[in-house]
Amino acid sequence: MRYVDRREATASATPEQAWRVVGRLGGDERFYAPLAVWRARGAVERLLGGPGHRITGPGRPLRPGDEMDFWRVIEVDPPSRLRLRAESLLPGTAHLDVLVEPDGVGSRLALRTEFEPAGPVGHVFWWAELPAHRAVFALMARRLAGLVEQPPGVGPPA
């Protein structure tokens, strides 16, 4: 059994313009909740033997095998899909797809999460975390759309 959730936002940029941001996520190009939250989570995970919080080097397009925070890039398909696999300590396997889809004259930016639970603990984990994940991934989609809307050279939203 696999659980799936999807959160999305729109931007006036074309998919090709949006991909210029999506294809370089990581490093200083943040699109999610405050960095302090992720660093705290990463510190706890490192204490438990996980990878913790990692940052990719900014300034180049992402490639399969790259590390991005708690994720590993497993597929890059410009200008439509970036697929990541979670390397966090989880009771199952998680993937995140960052999708860029045409939407009229702009783009729809979607974050699609998939979770395949490992045993009963994995199912409990999914349902316990779902409200928080929905809120965080909705925020991430909106912030990603905000990054896409910014003129080149302007930093990510605070």
Contact call for residues 144 and 41 (beta carbons, < 8 A): no
Q: Does some domain include residue 157?
A: no
Q: What is the pLDDT of residue 156?
A: 47
Number of domains, the chain = 1
Residues counted in the chain: 158
DSSP code of residue 157: P
H or E element, residue 137: helix 119-149
Per the structure block, which two tokens stand in for 105?
């004259």
Q: What is the CATH number of the domain that holds 67?
A: 3.30.530.20
Record the pTM: 0.84
Q: Does some domain include residue 154?
A: no
Q: Does some domain include residue 155?
A: no
Contact call for residues 77 and 49 (beta carbons, < 8 A): no
Q: What is the pLDDT of residue 152?
A: 62
Q: What is the pLDDT of residue 49?
A: 75
Structure-derived torsion over alpha carbons of residues 151, 154, 156, 158, reported in degrees to the nearest 10: -120
Q: What is the pLDDT of residue 158?
A: 39
Q: What is the pLDDT of residue 34?
A: 60
Q: Does some domain include residue 26?
A: yes
Range of the domain at 98: 3-148
Q: Does some domain include residue 153?
A: no
Tens-level pLDDT at each residue, the chain (158 residues): 999 999 999 999 999 999 998 888 876 545 555 666 667 777 777 777 777 666 665 567 889 998 877 788 999 999 999 999 998 889 999 999 999 999 999 999 999 999 999 999 999 999 999 998 898 889 889 988 998 888 665 554 43
Q: Does some domain include residue 103?
A: yes
